[in-house]
Chain A
Amino acid sequence: MKLAITLAASVLLVAGCGASDPESGPAPQPSTPSAATSSEPSPDPAPEPAADAGAVVDISIRGGEVTPKGGRVEVEAGQEITLRITSDADEEIHVHSDPEHTYEVTAGESVTESFTIDTPGQVAVEAHHLDATIVQLVVRP
């Protein structure tokens, strides 16, 4: 009798806890990329058909702020990933894959760099001098 009441109470309690999981509020869903993933062909004159073009991430650094910041971009393993970077300051872009890629950007210039990632996982792309994560590439198999 007492056991049954205890159990019923505890199930209710846990159901409540599960619904309002303490850390669940703030973090947005991982599948909501705040950066543009488009299938547009890159501006390079490479005559590739649009279907084969990979993910393109447009990055802009202006007045000490980088956009996008901290979002997720879904890509496939082996897919070509292109970063189009414009910056008003000297910056160093790190791609934390294995092996790492480092791209230098000089103030006022635009840089377009491409690479592929073969191992599934999440790879951070960082603006090194600003010490900020631009995007996490979510590399799916």
Chain B
Amino acid sequence: MTLPSGVGAGFAAHGVGGATDLPIPFIYAMVGASWALTISFAVLALAWKTPRFADEPAVDAVPARRPWLAVVGLVLTAWGLTALYGGPSDASNGGLQALYILVWVGLVPLALLAGHVWRDLSPWRTLTGQGLWTYPERLGYWPAAAGLFAFVWLELASPDPGDVGAVRIWVALYVVAMLAGGIAFGPRWFDRADPFDVYSALVARMSPIARGGRRSRNPLRGLTTIPVAPGLVAVIAVLLGSTAYDSFAASPFWQGKDISDVEAAAALLGFCLVVGVLFVAAAMATGGVGREERRALPGLLAHSLVPIVVGYVFAHYLTYLVEKGQSALFALLDPLGRGWTPLGSADPSYFLSEHTSTLAALKVTFVVAGHVVAVIAAHDKALALLPRAHRLSGQLAMLVLMVVYTFTGLYLLFSV
């Protein structure tokens, strides 16, 4: 049992209350699962036998940040923070909606369509310098993994995700950590420790747009350029595990129980751990490699999970972004809760929710498309990494695991 909380709080739906999607029809899930399974084994048996995408130069010479985007980033951040701290203390707060919907979910399509624009927009990069010390590289992505877990805990498992006070505290801690880390370690801090920056950077690697629109790139080649560092698997496990937990937490099974806050947090952590541990085990399950090589395999294959994350996030959050996003924009236009309606009254369109078959087909398509890209990426990398005698058998565990992830995702979409 938890304490009574503020008006407008939503126990169920991601900190911002409101309706969620209908379950997809069983036949859609079955068709999606059949495609995923068939394509997976077709890739293993029939696809190319020499790596094709491994020759992408690993280190992009990073282009300079574009000043006009830095200005846009500062203005948007100032606007959002004004709404969060100066606006109403209930669920109508525009800053709260902007964080949960536009920042957290909007980040993914932005990175996919426009590349790592986040790096240019980031106000924390703009406000901090080149750093006083060198970032301790052995930390790798672990600070970002911790930050991402802190965010998904706030959104999905904290006592009251819709409580504006809690979000204000979370954002304040985040801003202090980003400014302090940026002053101390410079841009490297944001490449490795800013949860949103790292998330955007990962997704942007599978964008056809590279180097700020100055180049186009095959997403499969882009994926292989994700810098491998400690904690990379943890980052991806938190992203995938938390999205699955979000579905699971809305199931009648889970809602029928008395769940304490600690149990909810433990369940969320459990989902992330299961996703991560299974991935590490599957990546290592090959013959013909030495101990050191085996330990390196999960990191070297981690990029292949990113398309599964992106496909599932799109399927899970599409209506949330498109429909609740409209409310968030209207709320941002009235940051102080004074009743301002510069674009007329808020009247969101529910086109997607009203066309249930189209929506279900889109969701299955996203999941299966993500799965196919992931399987191809893993296959190509395995060809480059594994000794010749183990090229097929060494991929098998990873292929099976990806099918399990995708089946689980489809099952959650159809059953909850």
Assess the B353–A121 pair: CB atoms within 8 A.
Answer: yes
Tell me, in angstroms, the Cα distance from A72 to B22 when the chains sit together.
Answer: 11
Contacts of B350 in A (CB 8 A): 98, 119
Interface code B337-351, partner A: CB below 8 Å = 1, 0 otherwise?
000000000001010
Which of B8, B37, B253 makes the CB contact (< 8 A) with A28? B253
Assess the A121–B21 pair: CB atoms within 8 A.
Answer: yes
**Chain A interface residue count, Cβ-Cβ cutoff 8 angstroms:** 52
Tell me, in angstroms, the Cα distance from A32 to B23 when the chains sit together.
Answer: 13
Is A41 in the interface zone, CB < 8 Å from B? Answer: no
Tell me, in angstroms, the Cα distance from A97 to B353 when the chains sit together.
Answer: 13
B383 to chain A, nearest CB (A): 14
Assess the B404–A22 pair: CB atoms within 8 A.
Answer: yes
Of B12, B274, B356, the most chain A CB neighbours within 10 A belong to: B12
Is A11 in the interface zone, CB < 8 Å from B? Answer: yes
Interface code A43-73, partner B: CB below 8 Å = 1, 0 otherwise?
0000000000000000000001000011110
Known: A28-B253, A96-B10. A11 touches B400 (CB 8 A): no
Assess the B253–A26 pair: CB atoms within 8 A.
Answer: yes
Assess the B408–A22 pair: CB atoms within 8 A.
Answer: yes
- The tally of CB-CB contacts under 8 A between chains A and B is 151
User: Which chain A residues numbered 55 to 97 have a C-beta less than 8 Å away from chain B?
Assistant: 64, 69-72, 94, 96-97
Interface code B356-373, partner A: CB below 8 Å = 1, 0 otherwise?
100000000000000000
Known: A29-B415, A119-B19. A23 touches B408 (CB 8 A): yes
Is B18 in the interface zone, CB < 8 Å from A? Answer: yes
Contacts of B408 in A (CB 8 A): 21-23
Contacts of B248 in A (CB 8 A): 23, 27
Which of B4, B8, B354, B404 makes the CB contact (< 8 A) with A120? B354
Assess the A3–B5 pair: CB atoms within 8 A.
Answer: no
Interface code B264-295, partner A: CB below 8 Å = 1, 0 otherwise?
00000000001000000000000000000000
Identify the closest chain A residue to B249 (Cβ).
A133
Contacts of A122 in B (CB 8 A): 19-23, 250
Contacts of A11 in B (CB 8 A): 41
Known: A23-B248, A96-B18, A121-B20. A131 touches B396 (CB 8 A): no
Assess the B12–A126 pair: CB atoms within 8 A.
Answer: yes
Contacts of A34 in B (CB 8 A): 252, 256
User: Which chain A residues numbered 1 to 43 have a C-beta less than 8 Å away from chain B?
Assistant: 2-3, 6-7, 9-11, 13-14, 17-18, 21-24, 26-30, 32, 34
Is B44 in the interface zone, CB < 8 Å from A? Answer: yes
User: Which chain B residues numbered 78 to 100 have a C-beta less than 8 Å away from chain A?
Assistant: none
Tell me, in angstroms, the Cα distance from A96 to B250 when the chains sit together.
Answer: 13
Tell me, in angstroms, the Cα distance from A102 to B252 when the chains sit together.
Answer: 22
A133 to chain B, nearest CB (A): 4
Assess the B22–A121 pair: CB atoms within 8 A.
Answer: yes
Is B61 in the interface zone, CB < 8 Å from A? Answer: no
B162 to chain A, nearest CB (A): 10
Interface code B5-39, partner A: CB below 8 Å = 1, 0 otherwise?
10111111100011111110000000001000100
Tell me, in angstroms, the Cα distance from A139 to B10 when the chains sit together.
Answer: 19
Is B112 in the interface zone, CB < 8 Å from A? Answer: no
Identify the closest chain A residue to B2 (Cβ).
A131
Identify the closest chain A residue to B37 (Cβ).
A14
Is B130 in the interface zone, CB < 8 Å from A? Answer: no
User: Which chain A residues numbered 108 to 141 have a C-beta less than 8 Å away from chain B?
Assistant: 117, 119-124, 126, 128-133, 136, 138-141
Tell me, in angstroms, the Cα distance from A129 to B393 when the chains sit together.
Answer: 55
Tell me, in angstroms, the Cα distance from A100 to B10 when the chains sit together.
Answer: 11
Tell me, in angstroms, the Cα distance from A83 to B17 when the chains sit together.
Answer: 20
A63 to chain B, nearest CB (A): 12
Assess the B255–A70 pair: CB atoms within 8 A.
Answer: yes
Which of A10, A14, A119, A130 makes the CB contact (< 8 A) with B1? A130
Contacts of A14 in B (CB 8 A): 37, 400, 403
Which of B4, B8, B12 makes the CB contact (< 8 A) with A133? B12
Assess the B400–A126 pair: CB atoms within 8 A.
Answer: no
Top 4 A-B pairs, shortest CB-CB distance:
A70-B255, A70-B256, A121-B19, A27-B251
Given A26-B253, A98-B19, 18 extra CB contacts under 8 A: A14-B37, A17-B404, A18-B403, A23-B411, A23-B412, A26-B251, A30-B23, A30-B415, A70-B256, A70-B257, A98-B350, A100-B8, A119-B354, A120-B356, A122-B22, A124-B11, A124-B250, A138-B22
A-B contact list, 27 entries, CB within 8 Å: A7-B41, A9-B396, A10-B396, A11-B41, A17-B400, A18-B37, A21-B407, A24-B415, A27-B252, A27-B254, A29-B415, A30-B416, A32-B252, A34-B252, A70-B254, A70-B256, A70-B257, A71-B252, A71-B256, A96-B10, A96-B12, A96-B13, A98-B348, A119-B353, A121-B353, A133-B11, A136-B255
